A and B are shown apart, each in its own frame.
Chain A
Amino acid sequence: MMPLKITINGTGAEAVPGSTILDTLKALGLEVPNLCHDKRLEPASVCRLCEVLIDGVGRPVCACSTPVQAGMSLWTTTPALEGFRRTMLMLLSGNYPPEAVEQHPDKPFHRVLRAYGVAAGSALDADHSPTVPDTTHPYIHVDMSRCIRCYRCVRICETLQGQFVWKIQNRGTATVVVPDSGSTLLESSCVSCGACVDTCPTGALEDAALAAIGKASRAIEPDVWVRTTCPYCGTGCEMNVGVRDDKVVVSRPVLDAPVSKGHLCVKGRYGTAFIDAAERITSPMVRRKGTWVTVSWDDAITAAAEALTKAIKTTGPDSVGVLGSSRATNEESYLAAKFARVVVGTNNVDCCARVCHGPSAAGLGIVFGTGAATNSFDDIERTHAILLVGTNPTENHPIVGNRIRQRALAGVPLIVVDPRRTEVARLATVHLMLRPGTNVPLLCALAKSIIDNDLVDHAFVASRTTDFNAYKASLAQWTPEHAANICGVSAEDIRRAARIYATARPAMALNGLGLTEHIQGTDGVMALANLAMLTGNVGVPGGGVNPLRGQNNVQGTANMGCEPARLTGYQKINAAKTLHEQVWGAPVPTSPGLTLMTMLDAAAAGQLKSMLMIGYDVYLSSPNAHATAKALGNLDSLVVCDLFMTASAQCFGTVFLPVQSSFEKDGTFMNAERRIQRIRRAVRPRGSSKSDWEILCLLASKMGAGRHFAYQDAEAIWNEVRAVWPVAAGISWPRIENAGLQWPCPTDDHPGTEVLHSSSFPVGVRAAFQRLEFHPSGEQSSAEFPFILNTGRTLFHFNAATMTGRTRNAELERDDLVQIHPGDASRLGIRDGDQVSIESRHGQFRGTATVTDTVRKGELFSVFHNVAALVNNATGTGRDSNTHTPEYKVTAVRIARAPAQRT
């Protein structure tokens, strides 16, 4: 587009068409003061400070809300305007606490006051009595005596987070901003994302940690800011961490981050205290006569190498298992996979994708040929309808969830398939509240309804698919009525959902573990892929099938070859063996490897002798904990690399190698939309901890394979990844310095790929519809076990709580909640907050009851974050037939009130 010619203060200038006057002034470095504007928000013109004069326009206009027009002649700093601004600032600051200006000199409001020489608190009727800040919230300090009523907090909470916490009351000078509790922020519906703090121009809302430092030292700005990627879920939000005295004191969203676009959730924003938690282990240890003894790194590496070598020598390489970490970097996971193959000589290498999205990768791999999300998060804004299957994104992938919520609030049809009435379900156009374990019948019935009502995209089916007729025939039994009966939903809702999904082109499907953690997990994913093909929603912007990956780098770790049947880039061993052997200079073993679950089986049977467990608490997180304990207890040696003494290490570890957190090292993560982004060292490594890649190199060297593991730094490892994975060869560290790239990106000038399968699939031009049979779960409710237990996560805690458990998040929500329907609760005499005991035929755990209609009658939902509760005592033995992914989502149990004291 041609730039517009305008005049600013009598001088010619150019402006981008469609931009505002304020954008234009900023771009030219001619800023006018503004306090109510934030580029993440729509302009509000509340503070009026950015008013400018336009020749021929009778009165000043707000630069923030006025678009530039060709030929405009602007005046930004006339004496009259400056006088007006000074007057406005005097009105804003007349009753403002002067000490705040001194204490937080860099707040935007305070800078403007200084620039205009306006003293705060100078109104004749200024109230100088001390105010009482609201300090109830562990992370957010509220002092509304510093509120200048710009409403940025109100607006950002509504339009970025979608939570609507801040409310405006009264009018005129009596206006106040209050949390929706009408009292404290802690009691409000606040989800602690910190967006209001981030946008507040005065410090009325401030990070509690910074407010505390401010009291002591007055100047509170961090020494340095380091841009990095969040270490929690698979969304891939970017943050700037503020470091002061080698400590991460604050984390703020990166405004121009391609994924998170200037937002973070409570975990990324406030979940960094684990870095310096007291329990962090920073020296290597070896277990001697049952007791952990601190040793030198050399002794620890020797002990680990000897343990692994002993197993290799006596019972063969396939008696050793390696588990990569989904918390580690791509570079480290690549080395873990390479270590298993080259140093140990086995394909027994896996990661926690096994217990979460293995079926997504497998199912999408079978149908389309690529086991990853077909589209990008930006497609959420391009789509015309959203289908969510078994995902609770506002809690588990909050930044993605917020974008979905904003679309739903804007009227985009939303279909939610979930046994629970989650936040997104409450916003849904159709909520299919199905019985756990019945995704396949439901998705098949949606397909049949689409076909029967002739809503099929015939052109796509004809040109891009095969096996349609056989598929159509296979759906014969899945009438909406038949499925409705099995799923416990209404047939009419199935028809409505089918019509919405099929007629809104494009429509986008996203799935979570509610689709995968079943014995029919892979079938469920393929059923969803069938739906997308049926409606032509593959290979188009705003469409696709998109697994929301659970951990920061779970996509990357499996993708880097921590998968028994796959090498780097999720390439099948046969297909990529030669290239890997060329680059590695070592043979790739060909004997089939064990998955995590079959490793545990083999350990229990005495065939697997030694395990290297990197950043993964297998005992806490695997189902049927009694069986896991038996398996891990049977190992001769278990080498654990972790930040903390995990339950696995505590109970079964023999060598403990302390690692660095993601804030202490360099590398890359791969998010759920195939985007590779940098993480960067922000603080010095704690104690003598080492990065996982350094540890793997030391171990390899000790085991005689040092020549295959000689790397100068993480970037050198990444460059080797590019050599064995041609699809990503174009992604170099310099290219992703400012914004990550999405693979495929085969060459240095390739822009990366937002949408897969636009014109063909890796399996060919056409992909085949999959015919599916439904095999119900073995876990059915009975007189003895009348409830179905579903397990999952909550916003404030993360997985095994290794990290969030060392933050103040526990003050925001308990980590052992068990949801029960009010009808069931009153029948069993269970009240909110009661201790309850849940028992299955596999085992028992305790939790704290939450009485809520989020769950249906006869169903329970438990979070699994609490180490002591050990929910997985009760989960069962079911596994997806294709990937061995455990059936965490369906267990028949009974529940009863437990005595108040905890066991």
Chain B
Amino acid sequence: MPFALTPERERTFQELLTRYPTKMALTIPLLQLCQEQHGWISEEVMLFVAERLDLSAAHVKGVVTFYTLFNQHPVGKHQVWVCKTLPCALRGAYDVLHQCEKKLGIKAGETTSNGQITLRTAECLASCATAPMMQVDKEYFEDLTPERVDEILRRLQES
């Protein structure tokens, strides 16, 4: 089925159009709008973006496949990102990760069977002073211990 933006997001897109020098420059903002609505970037979404911005779908795919924040497959309602770059790794990032995997019953990169939570690892999330840390949707959780991880995930599952 062809993809289309909700009327409200369509208005946002029209407003964005006036702020960028070329349509091509809107590739990332429009993809973000689409992902916000659809959860991930499907072939249909890429065709939609290509058509709206006068680009080739191959160009849009190049952008989508370069930036890891664009989901190329369906993801859960909530996103859990565990930072595993060096300072976090030294401070127990892998313990945090394994705790998440155990608690959720999935591996990094996978989504829970009820479609609620996707677990992923991230390169530096720029919060080294409070390592180890993870990001849940748009919120940071810092100075983590396995116990705190259990608590955060429990609340997330109940939400």
Contact = CB atoms under 8 A, between A and B. Distances in A.
* A and B are partners in one complex rather than unrelated chains: yes
Interface of A: 164, 167-171, 178-182, 189
A169 B62 contact: yes
Given A170-B65, A182-B58, 19 more contacts: A164-B56, A167-B59, A167-B61, A167-B62, A168-B66, A169-B58, A169-B61, A169-B62, A169-B65, A169-B66, A170-B66, A171-B65, A171-B66, A179-B58, A181-B56, A181-B58, A182-B56, A182-B61, A189-B56
A832 B65 CA distance: 34
B58 A178 contact: yes
Contacts of A181: 56, 58
A167 to B, nearest CB: 4
Interface in B47-72: 56-59, 61-62, 65-66
Contact of A168 (B56, B57, B62): B62
B65 A182 contact: no
A448 to B, nearest CB: 32
B22 to A, nearest CB: 10
Q: Is the interface of B mostly helix, strand, loop or mixed?
A: helix
A136 to B, nearest CB: 16
13 contacts: A164-B56, A167-B61, A168-B62, A169-B58, A169-B62, A169-B65, A169-B66, A179-B58, A180-B56, A180-B58, A181-B56, A182-B57, A189-B56
Contacts of A171: 65-66
B13 to A, nearest CB: 22
B65 to A, nearest CB: 5
Interface of B: 56-59, 61-62, 65-66
Nearest to B61: A169
Nearest to A180: B56
Contacts of A164: 56, 59
Contacts of B57: 182
A189 B59 CA distance: 12
Contacts of B58: 167, 169, 178-182
A170 B67 CA distance: 9
Q: Which among A164, A178, A180 has the highest number of chain B CB atoms within 10 Å?
A: A180
A187 to B, nearest CB: 11
Contacts of A178: 58
A167 B61 CA distance: 9
Q: Which among B56, B58, B61, B66 has the highest number of chain A CB atoms within 10 Å?
A: B58
Contacts of B65: 169-171
Per CB-CB distance, the 4 closest pairs between chain A and chain B, nearest first, are A180-B56, A182-B58, A167-B58, A180-B58
Contacts of B62: 167-169
A18 B58 CA distance: 38
Contacts of B56: 164, 167, 180-182, 189
A171 B123 CA distance: 15
A513 B62 CA distance: 40
A168 B65 CA distance: 9
Nearest to B64: A169
Nearest to A181: B58
A167 B66 CA distance: 12
A648 to B, nearest CB: 43
Nearest to A409: B22
A168 B66 CA distance: 9
Q: Which among A164, A168, A179, A181 has the highest number of chain B CB atoms within 10 Å?
A: A168
A543 B6 CA distance: 50
A167 B24 CA distance: 14
Contacts of A169: 58, 61-62, 65-66
B48 to A, nearest CB: 15
A182 B66 CA distance: 16
A546 to B, nearest CB: 28
Contacts of B66: 168-171
A609 B57 CA distance: 61
Nearest to B46: A182
B58 to A, nearest CB: 4
A62 to B, nearest CB: 22
A169 B41 CA distance: 15
A179 B59 CA distance: 9
B56 to A, nearest CB: 4
Nearest to A170: B65
Q: Which among B59, B61, B62, B66 has the highest number of chain A CB atoms within 10 Å?
A: B62
Nearest to B59: A167
Contacts of A167: 56, 58-59, 61-62
A178 B62 CA distance: 9
A179 to B, nearest CB: 7
Contacts of B59: 164, 167, 180
A209 B58 CA distance: 28
A180 B55 CA distance: 9
A149 to B, nearest CB: 13
A486 B147 CA distance: 80
A180 B63 CA distance: 13
A763 B48 CA distance: 60
A57 B24 CA distance: 38
A178 B58 CA distance: 8
Contacts of A170: 65-66
A189 B57 CA distance: 12
A170 B57 CA distance: 14
A282 to B, nearest CB: 45
Contacts of A182: 56-58, 61
A178 B61 CA distance: 10
A659 to B, nearest CB: 44
A234 B99 CA distance: 72
A168 B64 CA distance: 11
A169 B61 CA distance: 6
B51 to A, nearest CB: 14
A179 B66 CA distance: 17
A153 B61 CA distance: 18
Nearest to B68: A171
A892 B81 CA distance: 67
B121 to A, nearest CB: 15
Nearest to A168: B62
B43 to A, nearest CB: 10
B67 to A, nearest CB: 9
Nearest to A171: B66
A189 B62 CA distance: 16
